[in-house]
A and B are shown apart, each in its own frame.
Chain A
Amino acid sequence: MSNKSLIVTLLATTLLSGPAFAEDVTLTIESWRNDDLTLWQDKIIPAFEASHPGIKVKFTPSAPAEYNAVLNSKLDAGSAGDLITCRPFDASLALYDAGHLADVSGLENMSNFSDVAKSAWQTDDGSATFCVPMASVIHGFIYNKEAFEEVGVEVPQTETEFFAALDKFKEDGSYIPLAMGTNDQWEAATMGYNNIGPNYWKGEEGRLALIKGEQKLTDDQWVAPYRTLAKWSDYLGDGYEAQTYPDSQNLFTLGRAAIYPAGSWEITGFNAQADFEMGAFKPPVQNEGDTCYISDHTDIAIGLNAKSENADAAKTFLNWVGSEEFATIYANALPGFFSLSSFDVAMEDPLAQEFVSWRGECESTIRSTYQILSRGTPNLENETWGASVAAIKGTKSAEDLGKELQDGLASWYEPQQ
C-alpha cells in the first residue's frame, strides 16, 4: 500500500511539475568575453533570474579571436544563441543588414542611452538601433606608483614631461620604462596610435573631418602621432619586437615595468595580478593647458538574434540590460568597462574612478578607424596596426606611413578621392 501511494505521489509530482518546466525559457548568450564567464554566472544571471522567474539564461562565450568567424557560421547555420554580444560598428551592422539581428529601437529602456552611445550600433542614418549598449573602454596609461616614488618621477601631464619621465626610468635602469611589444601588432595601434592620437587630431573634430573627407591621413595631425610613436622604441624592453600582449601584461604586473600603455579593460586583471599600488594618467597633451582628448570607445553591446524562438523573453532581458540595476552590477563587477547609460553609476574601484573622471575633464572620442573607414579593402584598422608597428620599429618614416594609409583609404572611400 505504502509502495503504491509513493508511486502515485511520484506520478502526481511529475504531472504537476511538467507544465511548470515547460514555461521556463532558456536564453543563450553568444559572447567573446570568456574572461567574464564567472561574472555572468555568479552575478548578472542570478540577479536577472531572481527578478524574472520563468526565464533562464546561459552565457556561452567563445575565444575573442575566433568570435566573429564562429558567430557568422553559427548564424548562417541557424544554430546561434538568442542573444548576440555585438562588436561595435560594421561587424554588427553587417549582421543587421543580413537579417541576423533584430531592430531593438522600440525597447523602453533605450531612452537611457545617449545618441553617441547608440551610434556604434545604428544604421548610418540612425533610423534603427540593433544592439543595447553595454559598456565603453577608456584609453590611457597605467603606472606603477611604487616605481614612480622609488625613482622620484612625477606623473606626467604634457608630452615633454612624459618623455622626461621615461628618460629618468631609463637612466635609473631598475624598471623597463614602457611595457609594450609589437609582436601582436594591435597594441601598437590601439594602445599606441589611438591612445595618444586624439590629442593631435582634436578628438571628434578630426575623426568626423576624416570621415567627411575634409582632412587627410597625410595631414600633420594624423602623421605626428607616428613621429611620437617612433620615439617609444628607445623605452621598450629588450627584444620588444617579439614581445607579445600577455608578455607586456606580465612584465607590468610583476613590477618589472613602470608604465603600461593601457585600456581600462585591463583593470580587473591587473587588480588580481599586481601586488603594488597602481595609478593612471591620461594621454599627455602637447602643451600645458591644452584641451585634452581621450578615447572613450564604445566597445560592447548586446542584441537579439532575429531568428530566436524566444524573442519575447530575450526582449525582456535586453530591456533589463538597459536598466540601472544592470549598469550598476556590470560596472562594479567589471571595473574598466564603463556603463554607456545616462545613469550616474557609483563605482568603488579607485583605478576605474580615475579613468572615468577624465570624462569630466576631457573631450571624449572613439577610435578613429572604427566608424565607416574600415569598411573596404584595404581595411584601415588593420593597416593602422602594421603602420603603428612600422613607426615604432622605425622601418618607415611617419610621412611615408601617412601616405600609404591615405592611398589605401582613397582607393575605395569616395569622400577621400
Chain B
Amino acid sequence: MKSPRIKSHVIVFLAPAVLVYTAIMIFPLFNTLRLALYTEADQVRMFVGLENFRTLFGDPRWSESFWNALANNFWFFVIHMLVQNPIGIALAAILSHPRLRFAAFYRSAIFVPTILSFVIVGFAWKLILSPIWGIAPDLLSAVGLKSLFAPWLGKEEYALTTLALISVWQFVGIPMMLIYAALLSIPEEVLEAGEVDGITGMAAFWKIKLPLILPSIGIISILTFVGNFNAFDLIYTAQGALAGPDFSTDILGTFMYRTFFGFQLQLGDPHMGSAIATAMFGIILVGVCIYLFGIQTRLKRYQF
C-alpha cells in the first residue's frame, strides 16, 4: 500500500497561473461585489448592505435606465443570435465544400475584422454611414435607392440595430471558424454511409452534419451571450458614453461605465457602478447556468 504522495511539482507548475489569475481576475471580481454593498457620504465609506440594489431597482429613474439598458442588451443579443450565428454557420458550410476555390482567401478575409480594434471598426463604420462624407449614401444612390438612406446612427429607432449589425460584421468570423473546424472533424465514412442510404446534398447537411455540430453551436451561443452582455467598446466608440440618441443604444456596459466613472458634470459613483456590475455578473451567471445545466447536459455527443 502506497500512501498518496503530495505531488509538489504540480503545485509549483500551477502556481504562476493561479497567482496571476487570482490577482487580476478573482480578487477584482470579488472586490467589485463587495464594493456594491457600500456607499460614500462626506468622504467616509459606509456599509449599507443591499441599499444600492434597492435604489437601482426601486428608484424609478435608476430602474428605468437599468431596464432600458437590459432591454437594449437583449435586442443586441437577439440580433447576434438571429444574424451572426446563422450566417456564420452558412459561411462555414460553404467554405467546407470540397469544390470551393480560394477557400483559404475567403476564410481569412471574413476573419480579419475580428482582429481589428473596436476603435477602428467604430470609426470606419461611422464614416461609411456618415450622411455627409459617407460612402453609403453614394452607393445607394448609384443603384437608385437613395430614398432608403437615413442617418441610421442618429435615429432612435435604427441606431441600436445598426450597431448590432456592425458588431455582427466584425465578429461573424468567430462562429464561422468554430463551425468550420467542427465540420472538418466529421469523418468521411459517416457521410459516405449516409450517401449509401440516399442522403445527399442539402439533406446531408440537415440530417447528418447539423446534429453533429450542435455542441459547437451551443458553445457559440454561450460565447455570444457572454460577449454581448459584457459589450461596451463599440457603443462607446461610436456613440459616446451617453449612448445616444436619447439612450437608445445604452447597454449595461455603457450604463455601468457612466455610473462608475462619471460623465461630464456627473461625478463617478463607484458604489452604484459596482452594483450595476454585480447585476451584470448575476445576469451572465444565470444565463451560463441555464445553458450548462439545461441545455448542454441534454446535447448528445457522438464518438467516432
Contact = CB atoms under 8 A, between A and B. Distances in A.
Interface stretch (A18-26, A88-96, A124-132, A321-329): A88-96
Contacts of A237: 131-132
Contacts of A393: 245
A242 interface: yes
Contacts of A244: 126, 130
Contacts of B153: 183, 242
A204 interface: no
Interface string A374-411: 10011101100110011001010000000000001001
B268 interface: yes
Interface string B108-134: 000000000000000000100111110
A239 interface: yes
B241 interface: yes
B61 A378 contact: yes
B139 to A, nearest CB: 15
B43 A243 contact: no
B58 interface: no
Nearest to B262: A68
B197 interface: no
B240 interface: yes
Contacts of A316: none
Interface in B79-133: 126, 129-133
Contacts of A385: 242
Contacts of B263: 382
A162 interface: no
Contacts of A287: none
A235 to B, nearest CB: 15
Contact of B151 (A72, A243, A379): A243
A411 B59 CA distance: 11
B188 interface: no
B183 to A, nearest CB: 40
B266 A374 contact: yes
Contacts of B126: 244
A411 to B, nearest CB: 7
Contacts of A186: 264
Interface string B244-269: 11110000000000000111111110
A243 B268 contact: no
A381 B262 CA distance: 13
Which applies to chain B's interface (DSSP): helix, strand, loop or mixed? loop
Contacts of B43: 97-99
Nearest to A241: B154
A331 interface: no
A184 interface: yes
Contacts of A370: 265
A185 interface: yes
A185 B261 contact: no
Contacts of A183: 153-154, 239, 244-245
Contacts of B267: 90-91, 94
Given A72-B268, A243-B132, A390-B246, A182 B262 contact: no
A343 B150 CA distance: 51
Interface in B259-292: 261-268
B74 interface: no
Given A374-B266, A389-B245, A238 B131 contact: yes
Given A182-B154, A241-B245, A243-B151, A377 B265 contact: no
Contact of A381 (B62, B129, B241, B265): B265
Contacts of A65: 240-241
B246 A241 contact: no
Given A69-B261, A98-B43, A185 B240 contact: yes
Given A69-B268, A186-B264, A239 B241 contact: no
A105 interface: no
A247 interface: yes
B265 A90 contact: yes
B155 interface: yes
Given A90-B267, A183-B245, A386-B246, 10 more contacts: A69-B262, A72-B268, A94-B267, A182-B244, A240-B151, A241-B155, A243-B151, A247-B130, A379-B266, A395-B156
22 contacts: A68-B262, A68-B268, A72-B261, A72-B262, A182-B154, A183-B153, A185-B242, A186-B264, A239-B131, A239-B132, A239-B154, A240-B154, A242-B129, A243-B130, A247-B132, A374-B266, A377-B266, A378-B61, A382-B242, A382-B265, A389-B244, A411-B61
Q: Which 9 A-B pairs have the closest CB atoms?
A: A239-B131, A241-B154, A242-B154, A242-B151, A239-B151, A69-B261, A374-B265, A379-B266, A381-B265
Interface of A: 65, 68-69, 72, 89-91, 94, 97-99, 181-186, 237-244, 247, 251, 369-370, 374, 377-379, 381-382, 385-386, 389-390, 393, 395, 408, 411
